[in-house]
């Protein structure tokens, strides 16, 4: 990694697999091909569940719902991923959020007081995590890099940049 270049990141694509909606849609699709489940659905259709009259192929509409859920999850993941953008530059770290409206947060390395990362169980399985950068100005992290791949690597990278900035400020001041 070059120290004088800007590095741009986005949340990892693997964040898609953290969505429970994806698994619900896939389970619904898979179950419509299981004969026992098909029989249960057809019996439900035959009983005119809650007084509804099913004029169309019931299994077809269940499969359409499953495909719709999976497509919606994919679309939401793409929007989530495009909404966030991170920049690790030579002088500062930035977090930019938004497609239409923008929220940008910038912390210069000389102002950083702590860098830490968090990984849930599922994030650990997919090798992604959140890197939090804090300053003395607030108790909460000033900049958070959500769902980045290899968060430990980025934590060390930011800490190294912080040490270099502290060293430079001590030499000049």
Tell me the CA distances in angstroms from 96 to 80, 82, 147, one per residue in order.
Answer: 12, 10, 14
Three-class secondary structure assignment of 8-65: EECCCHHHHHHCHHHHHHHHHHHHCCCHHHHHHHHHHHHCCHHHCCCCCCHHHHHHHH
Structure tokens at 101: 């409206």
Give the pLDDT score at 2.
Answer: 47
Which tens digit of pLDDT belongs to each residue from 49-58? Answer: 555 555 556 6
What phi and psi, each to the nearest 5 degrees, are found at residue 98?
125, 145
Q: What is the mean pLDDT of residues 76-95?
A: 90
Could you tell me the pTM of the whole model? 0.74
Give the model's confidence band at 156: pLDDT under 50 very low, under 70 low, under 90 confident, else very high: very high
- How many whole angstroms separate alpha carbon 120 and alpha carbon 116? 14
Task: Count, in order, helices (H) and strands (E) of the chain.
Answer: 5, 7
Neighbours of 117 (CB within 10 A): 21
Structure tokens at 54: 């099913």
Structure tokens at 119: 């990984």
- Is the predicted pLDDT of residue 13 greater than 70, yes or no? yes
Which tens digit of pLDDT belongs to each residue from 28-43? Answer: 777 777 777 767 766 6
What pairs with residue 108 in β-bridges?
92
Which tens digit of pLDDT belongs to each residue from 87-98? Answer: 999 899 999 999
Residue in the block written with tokens 């390395």 = 109
Q: How many CA atoms lie within 13 A of 155 on its CB side?
A: 17
- How many whole angstroms separate alpha carbon 102 and alpha carbon 104? 6
């Amino acid at each position: 990694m070059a120290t004088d270049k800007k590095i741009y990141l986005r949340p990892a694509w693997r964040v898609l697999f953290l969505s429970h909606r994806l698994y619900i849609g896939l389970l619904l699709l898979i179950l419509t091909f299981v004969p026992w489940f098909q029989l249960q659905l057809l019996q439900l259709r035959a009983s005119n569940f809650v007084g509804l009259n099913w004029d169309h192929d019931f299994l077809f509409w269940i499969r359409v719902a499953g495909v719709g859920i999976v497509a919606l999850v994919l679309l939401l993941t793409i929007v989530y991923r495009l909404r966030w953008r991170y920049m690790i530059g030579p002088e500062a770290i930035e977090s930019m959020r938004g497609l239409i409206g923008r929220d940008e947060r910038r912390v210069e390395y000389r102002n950083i007081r702590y860098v830490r990362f968090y990984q849930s169980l599922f994030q650990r399985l997919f090798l992604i995590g959140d890197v939090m950068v804090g300053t003395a100005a607030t108790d909460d992290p000033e900049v958070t890099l959500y769902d980045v791949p290899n968060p430990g690597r980025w934590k060390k990278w930011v800490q190294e940049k912080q040490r270099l900035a502290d060293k430079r400020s001590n030499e000049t001041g």
